[in-house]
Chains A and B, each alone.
Chain A
Amino acid sequence: MEQHLEYALYIASVLGAISLSLMMPRRSKPLRFLGPILGAAALGGLWLFLSGSDFWADRETGLSGAGFLYYYVFSGISIAAAVKVITHTRPVYAALWFVMVVLASAGLFIVLSAQFMAFAIIIIYGGAILVTYVFVIMLASQPDPDGQSGQIYDKVAREPTMACAAGFLLLAVLLSLSFDPQIAAQPDPDNSDIALIGSTLGGRPIQPSARFEYDPQSELMVEAQPIPTPTNLDPARLSNAERIGLDLFRSHPLGLELAGVILLISLVGAVVIARTKVPDEHPPAPG
Protein backbone atom coordinates (compact mmCIF):
# COMPACT_ATOMS: atom_id res chain seq x y z
CA MET A 1 0.00 0.00 0.00
CA GLU A 2 2.93 2.34 0.69
CA GLN A 3 4.07 1.76 -2.86
CA HIS A 4 0.69 2.86 -4.21
CA LEU A 5 0.90 6.10 -2.29
CA GLU A 6 4.34 6.84 -3.67
CA TYR A 7 2.94 6.32 -7.15
CA ALA A 8 0.09 8.72 -6.34
CA LEU A 9 2.66 11.37 -5.45
CA TYR A 10 4.68 10.90 -8.63
CA ILE A 11 1.63 10.76 -10.88
CA ALA A 12 0.24 13.89 -9.22
CA SER A 13 3.54 15.71 -9.74
CA VAL A 14 3.68 14.79 -13.42
CA LEU A 15 0.03 15.79 -13.89
CA GLY A 16 0.66 19.09 -12.15
CA ALA A 17 3.69 19.83 -14.31
CA ILE A 18 1.76 19.06 -17.50
CA SER A 19 -1.24 21.13 -16.46
CA LEU A 20 0.85 24.11 -15.42
CA SER A 21 2.92 24.04 -18.59
CA LEU A 22 -0.34 23.96 -20.57
CA MET A 23 -1.60 26.99 -18.68
CA MET A 24 1.56 29.10 -18.87
CA PRO A 25 1.36 32.01 -21.28
CA ARG A 26 2.66 30.97 -24.71
CA ARG A 27 2.40 32.00 -28.29
CA SER A 28 0.17 29.10 -29.24
CA LYS A 29 -2.15 27.59 -26.71
CA PRO A 30 -3.07 24.06 -27.67
CA LEU A 31 -5.26 22.13 -25.23
CA ARG A 32 -5.32 25.00 -22.79
CA PHE A 33 -8.72 23.97 -21.46
CA LEU A 34 -7.16 20.74 -20.18
CA GLY A 35 -4.94 22.65 -17.77
CA PRO A 36 -7.37 23.28 -14.91
CA ILE A 37 -8.79 19.74 -15.16
CA LEU A 38 -5.35 18.16 -14.92
CA GLY A 39 -4.38 20.58 -12.16
CA ALA A 40 -7.40 19.64 -10.07
CA ALA A 41 -6.56 15.98 -10.64
CA ALA A 42 -2.99 16.62 -9.50
CA LEU A 43 -4.15 18.37 -6.33
CA GLY A 44 -6.54 15.50 -5.64
CA GLY A 45 -3.71 13.04 -6.11
CA LEU A 46 -1.51 14.95 -3.68
CA TRP A 47 -4.23 14.92 -1.05
CA LEU A 48 -4.80 11.23 -1.67
CA PHE A 49 -1.09 10.70 -1.07
CA LEU A 50 -1.37 12.71 2.14
CA SER A 51 -4.40 11.02 3.59
CA GLY A 52 -2.18 8.01 3.37
CA SER A 53 -2.60 4.92 5.40
CA ASP A 54 -5.43 6.41 7.43
CA PHE A 55 -7.52 6.76 4.36
CA TRP A 56 -6.95 3.19 3.25
CA ALA A 57 -6.60 1.27 6.47
CA ASP A 58 -8.64 3.00 9.11
CA ARG A 59 -11.41 5.30 7.99
CA GLU A 60 -12.46 6.05 11.55
CA THR A 61 -9.48 8.25 12.37
CA GLY A 62 -9.53 10.65 9.46
CA LEU A 63 -11.91 13.16 7.95
CA SER A 64 -13.60 14.62 10.97
CA GLY A 65 -13.89 18.03 12.50
CA ALA A 66 -14.67 21.37 10.93
CA GLY A 67 -11.01 22.32 10.59
CA PHE A 68 -10.60 19.57 8.05
CA LEU A 69 -13.14 21.13 5.69
CA TYR A 70 -11.71 24.62 6.13
CA TYR A 71 -8.23 23.33 5.42
CA TYR A 72 -9.30 21.91 2.07
CA VAL A 73 -11.25 25.04 1.13
CA PHE A 74 -8.51 27.52 2.00
CA SER A 75 -5.71 25.37 0.65
CA GLY A 76 -7.52 24.83 -2.65
CA ILE A 77 -8.23 28.55 -2.97
CA SER A 78 -4.65 29.53 -2.22
CA ILE A 79 -3.15 27.03 -4.66
CA ALA A 80 -5.60 27.92 -7.44
CA ALA A 81 -4.94 31.63 -6.89
CA ALA A 82 -1.19 30.97 -6.93
CA VAL A 83 -1.56 29.27 -10.31
CA LYS A 84 -3.50 32.30 -11.54
CA VAL A 85 -0.70 34.59 -10.31
CA ILE A 86 1.94 32.87 -12.37
CA THR A 87 -0.21 32.27 -15.45
CA HIS A 88 -2.09 35.56 -15.80
CA THR A 89 -0.93 37.77 -18.63
CA ARG A 90 -1.84 41.11 -17.05
CA PRO A 91 0.36 42.16 -14.12
CA VAL A 92 -2.39 44.03 -12.25
CA TYR A 93 -4.59 40.95 -12.20
CA ALA A 94 -1.65 38.83 -11.09
CA ALA A 95 -1.17 41.20 -8.14
CA LEU A 96 -4.87 40.97 -7.28
CA TRP A 97 -4.75 37.18 -7.40
CA PHE A 98 -1.80 37.37 -5.05
CA VAL A 99 -4.10 39.18 -2.60
CA MET A 100 -6.32 36.10 -2.86
CA VAL A 101 -3.34 33.88 -2.00
CA VAL A 102 -2.69 36.05 1.05
CA LEU A 103 -6.32 35.93 2.19
CA ALA A 104 -6.49 32.15 1.82
CA SER A 105 -3.22 31.78 3.72
CA ALA A 106 -4.69 33.92 6.47
CA GLY A 107 -7.62 31.49 6.55
CA LEU A 108 -5.15 28.64 6.97
CA PHE A 109 -3.50 30.53 9.82
CA ILE A 110 -6.86 30.88 11.56
CA VAL A 111 -7.42 27.14 11.15
CA LEU A 112 -4.04 26.78 12.87
CA SER A 113 -5.29 29.15 15.64
CA ALA A 114 -2.66 31.77 14.82
CA GLN A 115 -4.98 34.75 14.76
CA PHE A 116 -2.35 37.42 15.17
CA MET A 117 -0.32 36.19 12.21
CA ALA A 118 -3.48 36.00 10.09
CA PHE A 119 -4.27 39.66 10.66
CA ALA A 120 -0.64 40.72 10.43
CA ILE A 121 -0.21 38.99 7.09
CA ILE A 122 -3.38 40.55 5.69
CA ILE A 123 -2.36 44.02 6.85
CA ILE A 124 1.29 43.80 5.78
CA TYR A 125 0.99 41.75 2.59
CA GLY A 126 -2.48 42.60 1.40
CA GLY A 127 -2.18 46.18 2.52
CA ALA A 128 1.33 47.53 2.44
CA ILE A 129 3.35 45.34 0.08
CA LEU A 130 0.60 44.86 -2.51
CA VAL A 131 -0.09 48.59 -2.65
CA THR A 132 3.62 49.08 -3.38
CA TYR A 133 3.47 46.48 -6.15
CA VAL A 134 0.36 47.94 -7.76
CA PHE A 135 1.91 51.38 -7.51
CA VAL A 136 5.03 50.23 -9.34
CA ILE A 137 2.95 48.41 -11.94
CA MET A 138 1.11 51.66 -12.63
CA LEU A 139 4.36 53.63 -12.61
CA ALA A 140 6.19 51.31 -14.98
CA SER A 141 3.40 50.72 -17.45
CA GLN A 142 3.95 51.16 -21.15
CA PRO A 143 1.41 51.88 -23.85
CA ASP A 144 0.29 48.65 -25.43
CA PRO A 145 1.81 48.04 -28.84
CA ASP A 146 -1.33 46.78 -30.53
CA GLY A 147 -3.82 48.71 -28.47
CA GLN A 148 -5.80 45.97 -26.75
CA SER A 149 -3.76 43.20 -25.17
CA GLY A 150 -0.66 43.44 -23.02
CA GLN A 151 3.06 43.35 -23.64
CA ILE A 152 4.79 40.53 -25.44
CA TYR A 153 6.89 39.70 -22.37
CA ASP A 154 3.72 39.12 -20.40
CA LYS A 155 2.16 36.92 -23.03
CA VAL A 156 5.09 34.60 -23.78
CA ALA A 157 6.83 32.88 -20.89
CA ARG A 158 10.48 31.92 -20.94
CA GLU A 159 11.01 28.13 -21.05
CA PRO A 160 7.70 27.26 -19.31
CA THR A 161 8.02 23.52 -19.87
CA MET A 162 11.47 23.25 -18.33
CA ALA A 163 10.48 25.50 -15.44
CA CYS A 164 7.41 23.36 -14.67
CA ALA A 165 9.49 20.19 -14.84
CA ALA A 166 12.10 21.61 -12.48
CA GLY A 167 9.53 22.99 -10.03
CA PHE A 168 7.48 19.83 -9.79
CA LEU A 169 10.62 17.70 -9.56
CA LEU A 170 11.51 19.79 -6.51
CA LEU A 171 7.99 19.29 -5.15
CA ALA A 172 8.11 15.52 -5.60
CA VAL A 173 11.52 15.29 -3.95
CA LEU A 174 10.43 17.47 -1.04
CA LEU A 175 7.24 15.54 -0.42
CA SER A 176 8.69 12.07 -0.86
CA LEU A 177 11.60 12.84 1.46
CA SER A 178 9.94 14.91 4.15
CA PHE A 179 6.96 12.60 4.56
CA ASP A 180 8.93 9.37 4.57
CA PRO A 181 8.37 7.89 8.03
CA GLN A 182 11.57 5.88 7.91
CA ILE A 183 13.65 9.01 7.59
CA ALA A 184 11.72 11.12 10.02
CA ALA A 185 11.42 8.63 12.84
CA GLN A 186 15.02 7.64 13.52
CA PRO A 187 17.18 10.38 14.98
CA ASP A 188 20.71 9.14 15.47
CA PRO A 189 21.99 10.37 18.83
CA ASP A 190 25.64 10.11 17.79
CA ASN A 191 25.26 12.08 14.58
CA SER A 192 22.57 14.54 15.54
CA ASP A 193 23.15 18.26 15.27
CA ILE A 194 23.31 18.77 19.00
CA ALA A 195 25.97 16.13 19.49
CA LEU A 196 27.92 17.61 16.58
CA ILE A 197 27.77 21.13 18.01
CA GLY A 198 28.76 19.91 21.44
CA SER A 199 31.80 18.09 20.08
CA THR A 200 33.05 20.90 17.87
CA LEU A 201 32.26 24.07 19.76
CA GLY A 202 32.17 23.07 23.38
CA GLY A 203 28.93 24.68 24.44
CA ARG A 204 28.88 27.06 27.37
CA PRO A 205 25.65 27.60 29.24
CA ILE A 206 24.68 31.20 29.74
CA GLN A 207 25.26 32.35 33.32
CA PRO A 208 23.04 35.08 34.64
CA SER A 209 25.42 37.87 35.48
CA ALA A 210 24.86 40.62 38.00
CA ARG A 211 23.56 43.86 36.54
CA PHE A 212 24.64 47.27 37.74
CA GLU A 213 22.90 50.58 37.54
CA TYR A 214 23.71 54.17 38.46
CA ASP A 215 22.46 55.34 41.81
CA PRO A 216 22.01 59.13 41.76
CA GLN A 217 22.07 59.52 45.55
CA SER A 218 25.38 57.92 46.32
CA GLU A 219 26.74 58.60 42.77
CA LEU A 220 28.02 55.05 42.60
CA MET A 221 27.21 51.99 40.54
CA VAL A 222 25.18 49.68 42.71
CA GLU A 223 23.91 46.23 41.99
CA ALA A 224 20.52 46.44 40.38
CA GLN A 225 17.41 44.86 41.72
CA PRO A 226 16.33 41.96 39.55
CA ILE A 227 13.57 42.89 37.15
CA PRO A 228 10.33 41.57 38.58
CA THR A 229 8.79 39.00 36.30
CA PRO A 230 5.02 38.92 36.15
CA THR A 231 3.67 35.92 37.91
CA ASN A 232 0.34 35.72 36.14
CA LEU A 233 1.75 34.71 32.75
CA ASP A 234 0.15 31.33 32.44
CA PRO A 235 0.58 30.41 28.76
CA ALA A 236 -2.76 28.67 28.60
CA ARG A 237 -4.64 31.82 29.61
CA LEU A 238 -2.91 34.25 27.30
CA SER A 239 -4.16 35.19 23.89
CA ASN A 240 -2.25 34.38 20.75
CA ALA A 241 -0.90 37.90 20.31
CA GLU A 242 0.27 38.07 23.93
CA ARG A 243 2.12 34.80 23.65
CA ILE A 244 3.85 35.89 20.44
CA GLY A 245 4.81 39.19 22.03
CA LEU A 246 6.28 37.45 25.07
CA ASP A 247 8.20 35.00 22.88
CA LEU A 248 9.48 37.81 20.64
CA PHE A 249 10.75 40.02 23.45
CA ARG A 250 11.97 37.30 25.76
CA SER A 251 13.66 34.90 23.39
CA HIS A 252 14.63 36.99 20.37
CA PRO A 253 15.60 40.51 21.47
CA LEU A 254 18.67 40.52 19.22
CA GLY A 255 16.63 39.45 16.22
CA LEU A 256 14.19 42.23 16.91
CA GLU A 257 16.99 44.82 16.95
CA LEU A 258 18.46 43.40 13.76
CA ALA A 259 15.06 43.52 12.07
CA GLY A 260 14.85 47.20 12.93
CA VAL A 261 18.34 47.80 11.51
CA ILE A 262 17.45 45.93 8.32
CA LEU A 263 14.31 47.98 7.86
CA LEU A 264 16.23 51.22 8.38
CA ILE A 265 18.96 50.20 5.92
CA SER A 266 16.44 49.16 3.30
CA LEU A 267 14.61 52.45 3.78
CA VAL A 268 17.80 54.42 3.16
CA GLY A 269 18.74 52.12 0.29
CA ALA A 270 15.37 52.51 -1.39
CA VAL A 271 15.66 56.30 -1.21
CA VAL A 272 19.18 56.19 -2.65
CA ILE A 273 18.12 53.85 -5.45
CA ALA A 274 15.09 55.94 -6.30
CA ARG A 275 17.15 59.14 -6.55
CA THR A 276 19.85 57.68 -8.79
CA LYS A 277 20.07 59.37 -12.15
CA VAL A 278 20.25 56.88 -15.01
CA PRO A 279 21.27 57.49 -18.61
CA ASP A 280 18.47 56.87 -21.03
CA GLU A 281 19.00 54.00 -23.42
CA HIS A 282 16.48 53.30 -26.12
CA PRO A 283 17.25 49.90 -27.56
CA PRO A 284 14.91 48.21 -29.97
CA ALA A 285 12.53 46.13 -27.92
CA PRO A 286 13.57 42.48 -28.10
CA GLY A 287 10.90 40.02 -29.06
Chain B
Amino acid sequence: MPLNAIDSLALSHFLLTGAVLFCLGLIGFISRRNLIIMFLCTEMMFQGVAVSLVAFSRFHLNDTGQTFVIFVLTIAAAEAALALGLVVLLFRRKKTLDALAWSDLKG
Protein backbone atom coordinates (compact mmCIF):
# COMPACT_ATOMS: atom_id res chain seq x y z
CA MET B 1 0.00 0.00 0.00
CA PRO B 2 1.64 3.22 -1.07
CA LEU B 3 0.48 5.20 1.91
CA ASN B 4 3.33 7.66 2.03
CA ALA B 5 2.39 9.49 -1.13
CA ILE B 6 -0.92 10.52 0.37
CA ASP B 7 0.08 11.12 3.94
CA SER B 8 0.21 14.84 3.54
CA LEU B 9 -3.29 14.94 2.09
CA ALA B 10 -6.01 14.74 4.66
CA LEU B 11 -9.42 13.19 4.20
CA SER B 12 -10.94 16.62 4.60
CA HIS B 13 -9.36 17.83 1.36
CA PHE B 14 -11.41 15.37 -0.65
CA LEU B 15 -14.49 15.95 1.48
CA LEU B 16 -14.13 19.66 0.68
CA THR B 17 -14.06 18.97 -3.05
CA GLY B 18 -17.05 16.68 -2.74
CA ALA B 19 -18.98 19.24 -0.70
CA VAL B 20 -18.21 22.04 -3.15
CA LEU B 21 -19.33 19.93 -6.11
CA PHE B 22 -22.52 19.00 -4.26
CA CYS B 23 -23.31 22.60 -3.35
CA LEU B 24 -22.60 23.86 -6.87
CA GLY B 25 -24.94 21.22 -8.22
CA LEU B 26 -27.58 22.29 -5.70
CA ILE B 27 -27.26 25.94 -6.69
CA GLY B 28 -27.55 25.02 -10.35
CA PHE B 29 -30.60 22.88 -9.68
CA ILE B 30 -32.33 25.68 -7.81
CA SER B 31 -31.52 28.56 -10.10
CA ARG B 32 -31.31 27.26 -13.66
CA ARG B 33 -34.51 27.24 -15.68
CA ASN B 34 -33.60 24.75 -18.41
CA LEU B 35 -34.94 21.33 -17.42
CA ILE B 36 -31.99 19.50 -18.98
CA ILE B 37 -29.45 21.63 -17.12
CA MET B 38 -31.35 21.01 -13.89
CA PHE B 39 -30.95 17.28 -14.26
CA LEU B 40 -27.32 17.72 -15.31
CA CYS B 41 -26.84 19.47 -11.97
CA THR B 42 -28.25 16.47 -10.11
CA GLU B 43 -25.60 14.38 -11.85
CA MET B 44 -23.02 16.83 -10.52
CA MET B 45 -24.35 16.31 -7.01
CA PHE B 46 -23.87 12.58 -7.55
CA GLN B 47 -20.27 13.34 -8.55
CA GLY B 48 -19.66 15.13 -5.26
CA VAL B 49 -21.06 12.21 -3.30
CA ALA B 50 -18.94 9.77 -5.30
CA VAL B 51 -15.76 11.75 -4.55
CA SER B 52 -16.59 11.70 -0.83
CA LEU B 53 -17.33 7.97 -0.86
CA VAL B 54 -14.11 7.06 -2.65
CA ALA B 55 -12.16 9.27 -0.25
CA PHE B 56 -13.74 7.51 2.74
CA SER B 57 -12.93 4.18 1.14
CA ARG B 58 -9.29 5.10 0.63
CA PHE B 59 -8.69 6.54 4.04
CA HIS B 60 -10.32 3.72 5.95
CA LEU B 61 -8.79 1.11 3.60
CA ASN B 62 -12.23 -0.40 3.12
CA ASP B 63 -13.53 -1.22 -0.33
CA THR B 64 -17.19 -0.83 0.55
CA GLY B 65 -17.05 2.88 -0.24
CA GLN B 66 -16.10 2.13 -3.83
CA THR B 67 -18.78 -0.53 -4.01
CA PHE B 68 -21.31 2.10 -3.01
CA VAL B 69 -20.12 4.28 -5.88
CA ILE B 70 -21.18 1.46 -8.20
CA PHE B 71 -24.67 1.63 -6.71
CA VAL B 72 -24.64 5.42 -7.02
CA LEU B 73 -23.76 5.03 -10.69
CA THR B 74 -26.63 2.58 -11.10
CA ILE B 75 -29.11 5.00 -9.59
CA ALA B 76 -27.65 7.85 -11.64
CA ALA B 77 -28.10 5.88 -14.85
CA ALA B 78 -31.68 4.95 -13.98
CA GLU B 79 -32.44 8.54 -12.98
CA ALA B 80 -30.95 9.93 -16.19
CA ALA B 81 -33.02 7.56 -18.34
CA LEU B 82 -36.29 8.33 -16.55
CA ALA B 83 -35.70 12.06 -16.13
CA LEU B 84 -34.72 12.60 -19.74
CA GLY B 85 -37.75 10.61 -20.87
CA LEU B 86 -39.93 12.91 -18.76
CA VAL B 87 -38.15 15.99 -20.11
CA VAL B 88 -38.85 14.91 -23.68
CA LEU B 89 -42.49 14.30 -22.71
CA LEU B 90 -42.80 17.76 -21.15
CA PHE B 91 -41.09 19.32 -24.15
CA ARG B 92 -43.50 17.66 -26.55
CA ARG B 93 -46.42 19.05 -24.57
CA LYS B 94 -45.38 22.69 -24.22
CA LYS B 95 -42.64 23.05 -26.85
CA THR B 96 -40.33 24.68 -24.33
CA LEU B 97 -37.76 23.49 -21.81
CA ASP B 98 -38.45 26.35 -19.41
CA ALA B 99 -39.22 25.09 -15.92
CA LEU B 100 -41.25 28.24 -15.27
CA ALA B 101 -43.68 27.15 -18.00
CA TRP B 102 -44.88 24.56 -15.51
CA SER B 103 -45.27 26.97 -12.62
CA ASP B 104 -49.06 26.67 -12.86
CA LEU B 105 -48.59 23.29 -11.20
CA LYS B 106 -48.04 25.24 -7.97
CA GLY B 107 -51.83 25.58 -7.76
Question: Footprint of B on A, CB under 8 Å?
Answer: 20, 24, 46-47, 50, 61-68, 71, 75, 78-79, 82-83, 85-86, 91, 94-95, 98, 101-102, 105, 108-109, 111-114, 116-117, 120-121, 124-125, 128-129, 132-133, 136-137, 139-140, 142, 151-154, 156-160, 163-164, 166-168, 170-171, 174-175, 178-179, 236, 240, 243-244, 246-248, 251-252, 255, 259, 262-263, 265-267, 269-270, 273-274, 276, 278-283, 285-286
- With A114-B58, A114-B66, A156-B33 as given contacts, are A140 and B12 in contact (CB-CB < 8 Å)? no
Given contacts A82-B21, A244-B70, contact A94 B40 (CB under 8 A): yes
Whether the pair A121, B78 counts as a contact (CB closer than 8 A) is: no
Residue in contact with B31 in the complex, picked from A79, A163, A244, A262, CB distance below 8 Å: A163
Contact in complex: A270, B81 (CB < 8 Å): yes
18 A–B contacts from the bound complex (CB under 8 Å): A20-B27, A50-B12, A86-B24, A98-B43, A108-B54, A112-B14, A124-B77, A125-B47, A133-B84, A139-B88, A140-B91, A166-B27, A166-B30, A168-B23, A244-B63, A266-B82, A273-B86, A280-B93
CA distance A273 to B84 in the complex (A): 10
The count of A-to-B residue pairs whose CB atoms sit within 8 angstroms is 270
Q: B3: shortest Cβ distance to chain A, in Å? A: 10
Residues A270 and B94 in contact, CB atoms below 8 Å apart: no
Residue of B nearest to A285 (CB): B96
- Is chain A's interface secondary structure helix, strand, loop, or mixed overall? helix
In the complex, what distance in Å separates the CA atom of A237 from the CA atom of B23? 38
Looking at chain B's contact residues, is the secondary structure mostly helix, strand, loop, or mixed? helix
A115 to chain B, nearest CB (A): 10
Chain B count of residues within 8 A CB distance of the other chain = 77
> In the assembled complex, which residues on chain A have CB atoms less than 8 Å from the CB atom of B73?
120-121, 124-125
CA distance A163 to B10 in the complex (A): 30
Contacts A108-B51, A171-B23, A247-B67 hold; do A267 and B81 have CB atoms under 8 A apart? yes
Known contacts A50-B13, A85-B44, A121-B73; is-contact A248 B54 (Cβ 8 Å): no
The answer on a CB contact under 8 Å between A83 and B67 is no
Q: A157-B32, A251-B64 are in contact. Are A105 and B50 (CB under 8 A)?
A: yes
Q: How far is the CA of A75 from the CA of B57 in the complex (A)?
A: 18
Q: Which residues from B are CB-within-8-Å of A114?
A: 54, 57-58, 66
Q: Is B9 an interface residue (CB 8 A)?
A: yes
Say which residue of B19, B43, B87 sits within 8 Å of A140 (CB atoms).
B87
CB-contact partner of B80 in A108, A116, A129, A251, under 8 A: A129
Most chain B CB neighbours (cut-off 10 Å) among A61, A64, A66: A64
